[in-house]
Structure 1
Amino acid sequence: MLEAVLFDLDDTLVDQETASRAAVVEWAAGLGVDGGEVAGRWARVSERHYARYQRREIGFGEQRRERVREFLGIALSDAEADGLFAGYLERYEAGWALFDDAVPALRRVRAAGLTVAVFTNGEQGQQRRKLERLGLLPEVDLMVASSTLPAGKPDPRAFRHAVERVGVDASRALMVGDSLHKDVLGARAAGLMAVLLDRADSHAGVEVPRITSLDDLTLSST
């Protein structure tokens, strides 16, 4: 019997991609970097170094510095890189916004008597600020950030620690997220049920439970 639903945060409940794209285009233009590939290049650089952080190869602050150094292609001291990243971060945080289907989905799950959790690969402090600013704190029972765990998604250890904090057995928890690899396959490897939120409808051939909107999430989606 299902007892808890764990929602990913970025690009599941919050439109992180749009916020990041707009922020980096404006930030980079101010540094004299422009062109159609700016947002895509930043996304690729960010993914690479954030994955290193999730594997605990580097710290949270260092992955930010490495993103700036690689993106700009110049040598920077830690202080210089931190200062430059702050310009991006200010713009990024200003762009945080919920998807329209986020709060209704959380409320439906809670109304069904289930525990509502957010399980994010983000850093705990930043992700809590995100929940606060967007009014999500009253809608969830708890948040688990992988920055407080020995590993991040998709490592099965991360999911096992998360359900332990939620207080349910893995077999009675459902993970909902936008990443096939990090959210769905990682969760299933740890014994959770999982649903892929495929907003772009780009994984039609994948044989996993899949929805294109949180409006379509039902407790029988698994």
Structure 2
Amino acid sequence: MLFDLDGTLVDQESAAAGAVVEWAAEYGITGPGVADRWAKLSDRHYQAYQRRELTFQEQRRRRVNEFLGLSVDDDEADVIFKGYSARYEAGWTVFDDAVPALRQIRAAGLKAAVVTNGNADHQRYKLERLGLTDEIDVLTTPDGLPAGKPHPQIFLQAVEQLGVSVADVVMVGDSLDRDVRGALAVGIDAVLLDRYDVHPDADVPRIRSLDGFSPPLRRRQ
């Protein structure tokens, strides 16, 4: 079983929204659209990092300068970003259904891998901080690869790390394009975790929760 991390096992979105509202207020930025603007800006720069146009640290610095309307050097941008990241990390929580699902999967004799577009060191730290390290068998990140999901290589690397074939794997994630369509493109069965009913008409297997989840069995030819 392959699981996405942020938005699937970890409630990253709520953590980011709460953190940025507090942080931005220190710089005089308030209002109902703060969290949404930060999310869109962050996604744009993070995608550039995933395409290897920026380093992990560079995308953070660009987010700081653009969001706050600044033009500071790298060292100052790093310091400013820490004000956000401290709040963000404090807000990390594991979805209530995540650990039971992971334990159920492994109790059934299956291996559980996390396949994330996040930076390896950052995501290892997140797993450790949230007590998820011992709940999984493999962590797959795009470090050293051409790009993150939906690039095929990251899925194939996860399969290789697990020592299985694509026919033996199911991917579960909250992104229709990155997680589900990316996995399907390399022959991996995939399930969309649509917690907030964003894709009611999606033409792929869809669940609203990991409660009682069991992987679909591929029909063998």
Do the two structures share a fold, i.e. TM-score over 0.5? yes
**Distance in 1 separating the partners of 2:54 and 2:7:** 24
SS of 1:113 mapped into structure 2: coil
Residue of structure 2 in register with 1:161 after alignment: 157
Other structure's SS at 2:143 match:
helix
- Aligned mates of 1:60, 1:148 — CA distance in 2: 13
Distance apart, 1:56 and its partner CA: 0.7
Say yes or no: does 1:134 pair with 2:130: yes
CA distance in 1, matches of 2:50, 2:217: 29
CA distance in structure 2 between the aligned counterparts of 1:211 and 1:179, rounded to whole angstroms = 12
Kept in 2: contact 1:209–1:221 (CA 8 A): no
Alpha-carbon distance between aligned partners in 1 of 2:113 and 2:12, rounded to the nearest angstrom: 18
Matched, 1:210 2:206: yes
The answer (yes or no) to whether the contact 1:155–1:186 under 8 Å persists in 2 is: yes
- Show the counterpart of 2:66: 70
Residue 120 of structure 1 corresponds to 116
**RMSD of aligned alpha carbons:** 1.2
User: Does the 8 Å contact 2:140/2:154 carry over to 1?
Assistant: no
Sequence identity (%)? 59
Aligned to 1:144: 140
**1:149–1:161: 8 Å Cα contact kept in structure 2?**
no
Q: In 2, distance between residues paired with 1:221 and 1:176?
A: 14
- The answer to whether 1:100 aligns with 2:81 is no
The CA distance in 1 between the partners of 2:191 and 2:149, in whole Å, is 15
Residue 195 of structure 2 is aligned to residue 199 of structure 1: yes
Q: 2:8 aligns with which of 12, 32, 41?
A: 12
CA contact (8 A) 1:195 1:221 kept: no
TM-aligned CA deviation for residue 148 of structure 1:
4.1
Aligned structure 1 segments of 4 or more residues deviating by more than 3 angstroms: none
| Distance (whole Å) between structure 2 residues aligned to residue 160 and residue 179 of structure 1 | 18
Q: Distance in 2 between matches of 1:38 and 1:148?
A: 33
Query: In the superposition, relative to structure 1, how do residues 143 and 197 fare at CA in structure 2: closer, same or farther (>3 Å)?
Result: same
Rounded to whole Å, the distance in 1 between the matches of 2:139 and 2:153 is: 17
Structure 1 distance, partners of 2:109, 2:121, is 28
Q: Measure the CA separation in 1 of the matches of 2:54 and 2:161.
A: 25
Per-residue deviation, 1:216: 4.3
Counterpart check, 1:182 vs 2:214 = no
> Partners in 1 of 2:184 and 2:25 — Cα distance?
42
In structure 2, C-alpha distance between the alignment counterparts of 1:216 and 1:151, rounded to whole Å: 33
Measured against aligned partners, the alpha-carbon deviations of 1:7-31 in whole angstroms (never above 9, x if no partner) come to: 1010100000000000000000011
Residues 52-101 of structure 1 deviation map (CA, whole Å, 9 limit, x = unaligned): 00011111000001111111122111111111111100100011110000
Q: Tell me by how many angstroms 1:221 deviates.
A: 7.2
SS at match of 1:125: helix
Contact 1:152 1:158 in 2 (8 A): yes
Question: Gaps (5+ residues) in structure 1?
Answer: none
1:110 corresponds to 2:106: yes
